[in-house]
Structure 1
Amino acid sequence: MTEVETSIATAPDAGGDPAPVLRVRDLSVSFHGAERTVHAVDGVSYDLAPGEVLAVVGESGCGKSVTSMAVMGLLPPTARIGGSVTLDGQELVGAPEKRLRSLRGRRLSMIFQEPMTSLNPVLTVGRQITEVLRRHQGLSRSAAGERAVELLGIVGIPAPRKRVDEYPHQLSGGMRQRVMIAIAVACDPAVLIADEPTTALDVTVQAGILDVLRSLRDRLGTAIVLITHDLGVVADTADRVLVMYAGRPVEQASVDELFASPKHPYTRGLLGAVLRPGSRSAGGRTRLNEIPGLVPDLREQPAGCGFAPRCASADADCLTSRPPLRQVGDSHLIACYHPAGPAGADPSRPDASKGTVR
């Protein structure tokens, strides 16, 4: 365990702050096949306090969803999981399936990325909501039915008593997403993982979904892990941000600090690729900034910084020595030897005198 990981592990109870409801420590996930092994997640650590919203961001394939599926205990048998995940002090990694089933849907829930494929097409939405209620709360069929109607109203579905008897294909994409939220929060979970909850939704529906999540957090004190590509959603919703690259955490900070002063070159690249109103090139056309190069092959994790081949500030040590995740502010963590770019090279890297890799 690194120095910063130790500080993360012991900090939450200091100063009277509430103890984290979810602790993730040095989580790693690899998938083993007959011919190759894919290292999907490597060394993810974070704490989640009650009522906190943690956004997890990064390119597709960086390990965001795999991390959350590992927390939920929903990965296939080919996955090898290391590290620790504790919910209310209970260890989830390696826990018996019976215990995980008793927690999933009750204390720990997930909104999956594709509601059309996650919902059962041959069951009414009401039946799918009542299944959770009867399984975890022991409600009668009639009581569960009434609660399902109430939940559909809470998540903003109009005419919930009518919609409860409809099938997923009869609902719009936004309504199906709201049904997924209703199922996920039916038992008032302590932790809700939302995997791309606003993907492929128009901005009006997206705003409604985010309002529902904020309302649930405020009303129930639910902690939320929000997985998204949309940095606008992050700025509007999250309290803290975890940036991942090629399966590894590279930066973690409060949302205000991350947007005001991003330290990692990858984080700055993500923020630089956001289209800003009024930005025009000399020819009158807008061109987004892009991060050059390709994501590394996860079958072989690099010995050094995974972002080094794409980074203009990288030197020889970046390619051979993995930068540790360390604290650079009160709550700002970064895994980089050049936290402020070329002009702010970190003197603590192994050898600051070595030349830049071209």
Structure 2
Amino acid sequence: MTQPVLSVRDLSVSFASDTRTVHAVDHLSYDLHAGEVLAVVGESGCGKSVTSMAVMGLLPSTAHVTGSVRLGERELAGADDRAYGRIRGKDIAMIFQEPMTSLNPVLTVGRQIGEVLRRHQGLSKKQARARAVELLGLVGIPAPAQRVDEYPHQLSGGMRQRVMIAIAVACDPTVLIADEPTTALDVTVQAGILDVLKSLRERLGTAIVLITHDLGVVADIADRVLVMYAGRPVEQAPVDELFAAPRHPYTRGLLSAVLRPGTPKERLPEIPGLVPSLDAQPDACTFAPRCARADDTCTGGRPGFKAVSADAGADAAHHAACWHPHTLQETAS
């Protein structure tokens, strides 16, 4: 196995106020390799976006971050804004969740794409504009020479999302973080956005962290899946193995709630209860209050994040944090 392009180790993020402390991410670790798509999934409030913002160094001053974030050989944890400014957009970039609030409404899309090119590649204004036209064509926007001089409000939601992708990949970053890139888009536009991401991976070898609620998107594009719950990793596996044999009850619950063609028109099963408050991270399984398999062991100690197969080695691909994971026989039923 080659060295990871991004390595996150024991990442924890908390936010303190006058009245309480919220533990948004609790000891999360993962590796990302060149050309790989890692999907991060889980309910809202499970820490997915906070994790990505911590990796990008975009959290507010109220955040307390511990652990290690290595981009290649560079340690990013604890880096100041100046150090992050040299790599954001160049070596690591992010597609934000809502393009209309992420793009500047009073600047043309060409100028916004050109800004990162002029900063990191030293292009002239004319060169940056020409390259912006090329990038708009790369991400599938029709008539790019015309669109480059338009403003965000003149574009559709799908086109704005493509502009965000063009900005993110302008300098051929090693790592691209895509935070819900297909949210609120219709299925045809969503398919186009996913095709763009696949093309970028194939042409540029970009490694992608894809944050999403849509398990259909995960099945379509991801190589590996990391499932988060209440700020903690609960399962990680290659995408085919996770869909075929989910071991953690939470993962099984998420997959059971997906509507599949040909299934009877009945009420979809749901996971009872809600994601807990993150004021505290107990020394126990945080999913236990919602889990039908929970017992005193689950509430008495935190399960380790370990290989689901007892005879698997240190490089095992499938891990879960559960005292009573589902067996292969159960997942087949």
AA aligned opposite 1:336: C
Query: What is the rounded CA distance, in whole Å, between the counterparts of 1:328 and 1:182 in structure 2?
Result: 40
**Residue 341 (structure 1) shift:** 6.2
Q: Which residue of 1 aligns with 2:293?
A: 313
**Residue 342 (structure 1) shift:** 12
CA contact (8 A) 1:265 1:341 kept: no
**Residue 295 (structure 1) shift:** 1.2
Aligned length: 324
Q: Which residue of 1 aligns with 2:313?
A: none
Q: Which residue of 2 aligns with 1:174?
A: 158
**Residue 41 (structure 1) shift:** 0.3
Q: Which residue of 1 aligns with 2:57?
A: 73
Local SS of the residue matching 1:205: helix
Deviation by residue 1:155-194 (Cα, 9 ceiling, x = unmatched): 0000000000000000000000000000000000000000
Local SS of the residue matching 1:305: coil
AA aligned opposite 1:339: P
Local SS of the residue matching 2:136: helix
Query: What is the rounded CA distance, in whole Å, between the counterparts of 1:66 and 1:140 in structure 2?
Result: 35
TM-score, length basis structure 1: 0.89
Q: Does 1:192 align with 2:192?
A: no
Q: Does 1:212 align with 2:196?
A: yes
Query: What is the rounded CA distance, in whole Å, between the counterparts of 1:271 and 1:96 in structure 2?
Result: 40
Q: Which residue of 2 aligns with 1:300?
A: 280
Q: Does 1:52 align with 2:39?
A: no
Local SS of the residue matching 1:19: coil
Query: What is the rounded CA distance, in whole Å, between the counterparts of 2:101 and 2:282 in structure 1?
Result: 35
Q: Which residue of 1 aligns with 2:317?
A: 331
CA contact (8 A) 2:247 2:308 kept: no
Q: Match for 1:229 among 210, 213, 224?
A: 213
Query: What is the rounded CA distance, in whole Å, between the counterparts of 1:124 and 1:279 in structure 2?
Result: 47
Query: What is the rounded CA distance, in whole Å, between the counterparts of 1:236 and 1:279 in structure 2?
Result: 20
Query: What is the rounded CA distance, in whole Å, between the counterparts of 1:156 and 1:215 in structure 2?
Result: 11
Local SS of the residue matching 1:161: helix
Q: Which residue of 2 aligns with 1:103?
A: 87
Structure 2 spans left out of the alignment, 5+ residues: 310-315
Query: What is the rounded CA distance, in whole Å, between the counterparts of 2:14 and 2:236 in structure 1?
Result: 23
Structure 1 spans left out of the alignment, 5+ residues: 1-16, 345-358
| CA RMSD, 1 decimal | 1.2
Q: Does 1:274 align with 2:255?
A: no
CA contact (8 A) 2:245 2:328 kept: no
Q: Which moved further from structure 2: 87-96 or 241-250?
A: 87-96
**Residue 48 (structure 1) shift:** 0.4
AA aligned opposite 2:279: R
Q: Which residue of 2 aligns with 1:351?
A: none
Q: Match for 1:32 among 16, 35, 56?
A: 16
Query: What is the rounded CA distance, in whole Å, between the counterparts of 2:293 and 2:308 in structure 1?
Result: 18
- 1:91–1:166 CA distance, 2 compared to 1 (3 A): same
Deviation by residue 1:30-52 (Cα, 9 ceiling, x = unmatched): 00111110000001100000000
TM-score, length basis structure 2: 0.96
Query: What is the rounded CA distance, in whole Å, between the counterparts of 1:18 and 1:219 in structure 2?
Result: 19
Query: What is the rounded CA distance, in whole Å, between the counterparts of 1:132 and 1:260 in structure 2?
Result: 42
Q: Which residue of 2 aligns with 1:247?
A: 231
- 1:339–1:133 CA distance, 2 compared to 1 (3 A): same
Query: What is the rounded CA distance, in whole Å, between the counterparts of 1:144 and 1:32 in structure 2?
Result: 42
Runs ≥4 in structure 1, deviation > 3 angstroms?
341-344
AA aligned opposite 1:320: G
Local SS of the residue matching 1:211: helix
**Residue 288 (structure 1) shift:** 1.1
**Residue 278 (structure 1) shift:** 2.5
AA aligned opposite 2:122: G
Taking the TM superposition and a 5 Å limit, the aligned residue runs for 1:21-170 are: 21-170=5-154
